[in-house]
């Protein structure tokens, strides 16, 4: 227990993606609940960050995909990843959403966690993706290698942003060790760029579309450039849950996979439902680039990500994907 608590403290500051808003975790764990029709459903709590990436679970809940599997879904929002992993470990959440590097870091620190469903992936389009490193229009920075020696903002240090950017810089012939990464929240990054507090900024949607409209120029769509099949985030639980309650895991995964496929096939419904759990206005939702939603993880891309995280010091060693992915 002491080791687990120490691990939680160690990983708390480096977990997951930035949120657009949220509440606090208060899940009750898997338990029977009675529906209005008198039938019994198993109530489960799922911790998510209220961003575009989590649209499929909200959409699947509204479409009844989880109820079809006998699950009563209690979606709990958290303001960021720092509350997500501890919530799963403590039992406040039965399942939760986080990016791949965050869970890799948690496992690297000794926590027994495993993904059970995919969440969001790069579009794979090197000319239009959900995240990019941008610079002012008049910047002398023209390609990823030019980021060497420059100050670049990311939302969290030692995470998926600086890991993929470092790899892209090195692949372009630059020195990744000389990039000066600084922590700036996505909503604040465009202003930091305009005020010359940073030379370049890594920004995700919906902030990316806004920055580009104001004249920012893309240097790299780092997810797609790193690997066009990269899965960015997914849904995970504890190793104990996977081992001791496989039926619950199977039900959740089945419903989640159906939700991912539905979201991919119905982008307008994705844009609409995002407006129900975020403050992103309709005009912005209509033009922002959406992630790719798919059930299967790409192991080659995940392996490359884990090796890069180890290479650049985010992990002590590359993760064992058999222990991490379904």
* Lowest pLDDT segment from 13-22, 128-137, 231-240: 13-22
Q: In 23-147, which residue ranges form alpha helices assigned H by DSSP?
A: 55-63, 65-68, 84-90, 100-108
| Residue 11 pLDDT exceeds 70 | no
Confidence of residue 14 (pLDDT cuts 50, 70, 90): very low
Determine the average pLDDT of the residues in 220-235: 98
pLDDT digits (tens, 9 = 90+) for 63-81: 999 999 999 999 999 866 6
Confidence of residue 31 (pLDDT cuts 50, 70, 90): low
Confidence of residue 25 (pLDDT cuts 50, 70, 90): very low
Tell me the three state secondary structure of residue 270.
Answer: helix
| Residue 10 pLDDT exceeds 50 | no
Phi, psi of 125, deg, nearest 5: -90, 115
Kindly report the pTM of this predicted structure: 0.87
Distance CA 77, CA 207 (A): 20
Determine the average pLDDT of the residues in 17-23: 34
Question: How do beta strands 131-135 and 217-220 pair?
Answer: antiparallel
pLDDT digits (tens, 9 = 90+) for 250-260: 999 999 999 99
| Residue 26 pLDDT exceeds 50 | no
Q: Per the structure block, which two tokens stand in for 257?
A: 């996979």
Residue 27 or residue 133, greater confidence: 133
> Distance from CA of residue 212 to its chain's centroid?
22
Determine the average pLDDT of the residues in 145-153: 98
Determine the average pLDDT of the residues in 294-301: 98
> DSSP class of residue 13?
G
Q: Per the structure block, which two tokens stand in for 170?
A: 């090195």
Distance CA 181, CA 227 (A): 21
The torsion angle over the Cα atoms of residues 46, 50, 53 and 58, rounded to 10 degrees, is 60
Q: What pLDDT shows up at residue 30? A: 56
Q: What pLDDT shows up at residue 32? A: 52
> DSSP class of residue 292?
B
| Residue 24 pLDDT exceeds 50 | no
Percent of all residues in the chain with a pLDDT value above 70, rounded to a whole number: 87
Angle between helices 100-108 and 299-311 (to 10 degrees): 60
| Residue 45 pLDDT exceeds 80 | yes
């Amino acid at each position: 227990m002491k080791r687990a608590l120490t691990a939680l403290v160690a990983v708390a500051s480096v977990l997951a993606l930035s949120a657009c808003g949220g509440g606090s975790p208060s899940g009750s764990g898997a338990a029977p609940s009675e529906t209005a029709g008198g039938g019994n459903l198993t109530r489960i709590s799922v911790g998510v960050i209220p961003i575009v990436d989590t649209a499929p679970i909200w959409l699947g809940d509204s479409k009844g995909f989880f109820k079809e599997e006998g699950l009563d879904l209690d979606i709990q929002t958290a303001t960021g990843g720092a509350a997500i992993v501890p919530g799963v470990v403590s039992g406040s959440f039965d399942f939760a959403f986080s990016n791949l590097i965050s869970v890799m870091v948690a496992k690297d620190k000794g926590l027994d966690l495993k993904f059970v469903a995919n969440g969001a992936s790069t579009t794979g389009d090197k000319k239009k993706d959900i995240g990019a490193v941008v610079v002012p229009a008049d910047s002398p920075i023209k390609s990823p290698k030019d980021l060497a020696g420059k100050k670049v903002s990311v939302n969290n240090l030692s995470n998926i942003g600086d890991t993929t950017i470092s790899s892209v810089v090195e692949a372009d012939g630059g020195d990744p060790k000389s990039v000066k990464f600084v922590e700036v929240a996505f909503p604040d990054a465009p202003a930091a760029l305009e005020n010359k507090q940073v030379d370049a900024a890594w920004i995700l949607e919906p902030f990316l579309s806004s920055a580009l409209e104001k004249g920012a120029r893309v240097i790299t769509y780092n997810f797609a450039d790193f690997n066009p099949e990269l899965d960015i985030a997914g849904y995970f639980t504890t190793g104990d849950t996977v081992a001791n309650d496989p039926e619950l895991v199977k039900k959740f995964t089945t419903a989640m996979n159906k939700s991912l496929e539905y979201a991919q096939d119905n982008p307008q419904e994705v844009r609409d439902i995002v407006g129900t759990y975020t403050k992103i206005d309709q005009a912005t939702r209509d033009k922002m680039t959406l992630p790719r939603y798919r059930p299967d993880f790409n192991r080659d891309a995940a392996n490359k990500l884990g090796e890069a995280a180890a290479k650049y010091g985010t992990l002590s060693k590359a993760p064992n994907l058999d222990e991490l992915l379904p």
